[in-house]
Amino acid sequence: MEQIIFSEYKCDSCGLCAVHCPFGAIELCSGKAQPNAACKACGLCISHCPRQAILRLAARAQTVDKALWRDILVVAEVSGGRLHPVTLELIGKALELAKPVGYQVKTVLVGNLLAAYAQELRQYGVSEIAVYDDPALCFFRADAYAACVEDYIRFTRPSVVLVGATSLGRSLAPRLATRFHTGLTADCTSLELRDTDLIQIRPAFGGNIMAQIVTPRTRPQFATVRYKVMNAPARREKAGGEI
């Protein structure tokens, strides 16, 4: 992650950096300029500083041993008294991606009174369903749900984590990616697995191009996927998978 820093010795508080910042992310405090939480590290302030008092630092995430991270995890979601359809679509795609590399597909459910939903998930070919079931989780609270999913990820070390691009998923996925200091691609419309690297494909620049995004050095690889772009698997007559 990149960040902007100011040299207190070179900065003369001319204010040009703040004038040219399109995000209003630079404040003058005690006669010195400093970035606030709105800073996007775009670098415009650097090009407008006459004293070259601004630097951009890039911190590279620590590389992990990718061989220790296996399988694909789908974060399941319950909505309106049933499994959200995007959950089954993610399972269908996960099964497709997992087969060539010998991965298993696992799911995690967080909430309350989840037994029936966990049993339903057993009909769709997943190998394991982890259930965090407690009355305190009957309503969605982002940090509490993230703590549960984080716990399971640290226990199983999945290489890929798929989350539905729903209001719940869009709140949950960034928190999880931050906790693991790894990347997240939002609103994917297609996914491919090359060796163990997830090729995350999504529209960019107003849909004029399809960007292909890879997380090559860190794990797990997080992606949120839009509803109605993947195919759900057929429901199997024989239940499988361990709860």
Residues 139 and 212 in one domain: yes
Residues 114 and 133 in one domain: yes
Number of domains in the chain: 2
Mean pLDDT score across all residues of the chain: 92
Give the strands of the sheet with 209-213, arranged side by side: 190-194, 197-204, 209-213
Quickly state the pLDDT bin for 8 (edges 50, 70, 90): confident
Residue 236 has pLDDT above 90, yes or no: yes
Quickly state the pLDDT bin for 218 (edges 50, 70, 90): very high
Residues 71 and 131 in one domain: yes
Residue 1 has pLDDT above 60, yes or no: no
Q: To the nearest whole percent, how much of the chain has pLDDT over 70?
A: 97
**pLDDT (0 to 100) of residue 157:** 97
**pLDDT (0 to 100) of residue 62:** 67
Quickly state the pLDDT bin for 5 (edges 50, 70, 90): confident
Residue 124 lies in a domain: yes
Q: How far apart are CA 18 and CA 241, in angstroms?
A: 57
Residue 242 lies in a domain: no
Contact of 199 with 214, CB cutoff 8 Å: yes
Residues 15 and 76 in one domain: no
Q: What is the CATH number of the domain that holds 131?
A: 3.40.50.620
Residue 174 has pLDDT above 60, yes or no: yes
Burial class (CB in 10 A: 0-12, 13-18, 19+), 73: buried
Instruction: Compute CA distances 1 → 25, 38, 209, 227, whole Å.
Output: 17, 14, 25, 29
- For the segment 25-43, the average pLDDT, to the nearest whole number, is 84
**pLDDT (0 to 100) of residue 9:** 83
- For the segment 152-170, the average pLDDT, to the nearest whole number, is 97
Residues 152 and 89 in one domain: yes
Name, in order, each residue with C-beta under 8 angstroms of 140's C-beta and a sequence gap of 6 or more: 168, 171
- Collapse the DSSP code of 161 into the 3-class scheme (helix H, G, I; strand E, B; otherwise coil) and give the result: strand
Of 51-55, 116-120, 186-190, the least confident: 51-55
Residues 109 and 177 in one domain: yes
Residue 197 has pLDDT above 80, yes or no: yes
Token output for 13:
């508080």
* pLDDT, tens digit (0-9, with 9 covering 90-100), for 53-99: 998 886 665 678 999 999 999 999 999 999 999 999 999 999 999 99
Residues 11 and 101 in one domain: no
Q: How far apart are CA 196 and CA 202, in angstroms?
A: 19
**pLDDT (0 to 100) of residue 205:** 80
Residues 103 and 195 in one domain: yes
Q: Where are the alpha helices (DSSP H) in the chain?
A: 16-20, 44-47, 85-101, 115-121, 142-156, 167-179
* pLDDT, tens digit (0-9, with 9 covering 90-100), for 122-138: 999 999 999 999 999 99
**pLDDT (0 to 100) of residue 238:** 93
C-alpha count within 13 angstroms, C-beta hemisphere, residue 38 = 8
- For the segment 202-213, the average pLDDT, to the nearest whole number, is 88
**pLDDT (0 to 100) of residue 59:** 62
Q: How far apart are CA 48 and CA 70, in angstroms?
A: 47
**pLDDT (0 to 100) of residue 38:** 84
Residues 112 and 188 in one domain: yes
Domain residue limits at 192: 66-225
Q: How far apart are CA 12 and CA 50, in angstroms?
A: 10
Residue 243 lies in a domain: no
Residue 146 has pLDDT above 90, yes or no: yes
- For the segment 104-112, the average pLDDT, to the nearest whole number, is 98
Residue 29 has pLDDT above 90, yes or no: no
Q: What is the CATH number of the domain that holds 34?
A: 3.30.70.20
